[in-house]
Amino acid sequence: MMTTVCAANEYREMAKKCDEVAEAEQQVASSTIQMVQIVEEQKDCYKNVANKIIDAEYAKNKQQMVSEFNNFIKISSDMAYSMQYPDSCNPNCGTIVGLNAANSDLEIIKTYVQQLLYIVSPE
């Protein structure tokens, strides 16, 4: 059964809020470390949205969905961080590597949430 338009819009608003808060905080961030922390918080926000969708829309296989989501996040995060260290980077690429990896990871999580939203309530 497809979710109600109202519930889907609520999930979309939650995701939009994740971006708005992060964008506002990035405007005043004064270091790469702060920027990475903001992206990490944005990722957590999106994970929260995904978990709310899973809780509400996947009751029959919630445990499997949560387990697969957590595994997906772990694997995609490892991949996002690993790809930031090509041979040309050694021995050190600087602190921007962490920000690039966090942003790559964020995009993967956002895509997952967008796919969940499309599946439960295609627009």
pLDDT in tens, 28-52: 999 888 998 999 999 999 999 999 9
With vertex at residue 105, the alpha carbon angle to CA 74 and CA 47, rounded to the nearest 5 degrees, is 70
Predicted confidence band of residue 21 (pLDDT cuts 50, 70, 90): very high
CB 119 within 8 A of CB 2: no
Residues 79-96 have a mean pLDDT of 70
Domain ranges of the chain: 5-120
pLDDT at residue 28 in the model: 95
